[in-house]
Amino acid sequence: MHVAVIGSGYVGLVAGACFAETGNDVVCVDKDAGKIERLQRNEIPIYEPGLEDLVRRNQTEGRLRFSTDLTRAVRDAEVIFIAVGTPPNEDGSADLSHVLDVAGEIGRAMNAPRLVVNKSTVPVGTADRVEAAIRAATSCTVDVASNPEFLKEGAAIEDFMRPDRVIIGVRSDDARLTLETLYAPFTRRGGDRFIVMDRRSAELTKYAANAMLATRISFMNQMAALCEALGADVNLVRAGIGSDQRIGRAFLYPGPGYGGSCFPKDVKALVHMAREAKVSADVLEAVEIANARQKMVLLEKTRQHLGADMRGKVVGVWGLAFKAETDDMRESPAIPLVDGLLAAGARVQVHDPRAAESAHAIFGDRVLYAADPYSAAHGADALVIVTEWLMYRNPDLDRLKALLRRPLIVDGRNLFDPARMRGLGFEHVGIGRGHG
């Protein structure tokens, strides 16, 4: 099948590469000529495990191309995916200007009937607006569908190739059959993975899924705070409630708050949609408030042990990305932590295996960028763990203790067993681990 993907960011690039991997002829279009030139050289602008190899292989074998020529891409394609950004406005609503601009360009380029699919995360009713924008620019027949993405950063290739579900919102059998054929290689493990619904329900499903996961995270973070106050262990509580099949174990890990490009933006957008519809969103508003508070937890725990005035103190930080296996620092809890430490007068030494470049764009030269985890801990009065990278899970603890000026570990991901750490002479401060 001939496929065009408009937008070569995270979603568009992953989708284009995965569609090409299953034998389709794919062109990814972007107006940024510099980005397209780099992609043509197999230079990937984001870190996502497996993506570079996928792009390189499919470009080499001729199934994947990158171009700035939207008109040609539209005219050659059977299916056109819109995968451009929808950043939040100040009121939390999604900015649809890029989506609607692309829709108009598609309409002006069309010379025959086309199926256009919204892959971007968009509020309910956007398919109607995209269809209207395309129809205003062409006399050709257009069918618009919704196909929200459900990709986890750090596991996007796996999620696309072996999805839990593929959701499409359509108005015609032709659109359903086309997308069912396109996605068939990814849904062979079970027919129930391909779920068909109307366009508005599909658009809302994306937001509802992310809001539910964000709610679970905030709930567990509040349970962790209660565990600390009452002397319970959140890891044991998590195991107990997660064994209930009605609840399950996923997204029950406490930590320093959720971040990234999806959860914060999508919760805000859903709250905005509810307000516009005059429907109460008090649960989601509470999730936002709880997460904002949680992002200050690591700073507060560090202050409790080092004091509010940290002049002359050194703090090491392990992990800057909002989660492991990505270089994405958008809404990362590391940002308020580092900013707070610097404001308190501390010297901050940071390490992240992938996010150093992203961090430099945020912190500049205000922090020391360590070449390895141990260098970040050297001479530090405290080591704060923000991101759950595998390399941080089993370090040489004797070496680590010798490097630290004070053996204080603020363990924001509960990577270490508190009893073992204390037995080795560390001061260990976890999340929800009793009175620690």
State the Cα–Cα distance between residues 228 and 207, nearest whole angstrom.
32
Beta bridge partners of 88: 94
- What's the rounded Cα separation, in Å, for the pair 148 and 3? 17
Answer yes or no: are the C-beta atoms of 147 and 166 closer than 8 Å: yes
Interhelix angle 199-230/126-135, rounded to 10 degrees, is 150
Residue 196, burial from CB neighbour count under 10 angstroms (0-12, 13-18, 19+): middle
Q: What is the dihedral of CA 135, 137, 138, 142, to 10 degrees?
A: -40
The CA distances from residue 262 to 93, 283, 325, 389, 413, in Å, are: 13, 18, 16, 20, 20
Backbone angles phi and psi of 88, in degrees to 5? -75, 140
What beta strand segments (E) does 19-163 contain? 25-29, 64-67, 79-82, 114-118, 142-146
* Strand spans (E) along 119-270: 142-146, 166-169, 194-197
For residue 28, indicate whether it is catalytic.
no
Tell me whether strands 382-385 and 408-411 are parallel, antiparallel or unpaired: parallel
CA 104 to each of CA 120, 142, 268, 323: distance values in angstroms, whole numbers, following the listed order? 16, 12, 27, 36
Do 408 and 383 form a contact (C-beta atoms < 8 A)?
yes
Other residues' Cβ atoms within 10 Å of the Cβ of residue 251:
15
What does the DSSP 8-state code read for residue 7? -
Using CA atoms, how far apart are residues 252 and 242, in angstroms rounded to an integer? 7
**Rounded distance, CA 238 to CA 227, Å?**
11
Q: What residues are annotated to the active site?
A: 262
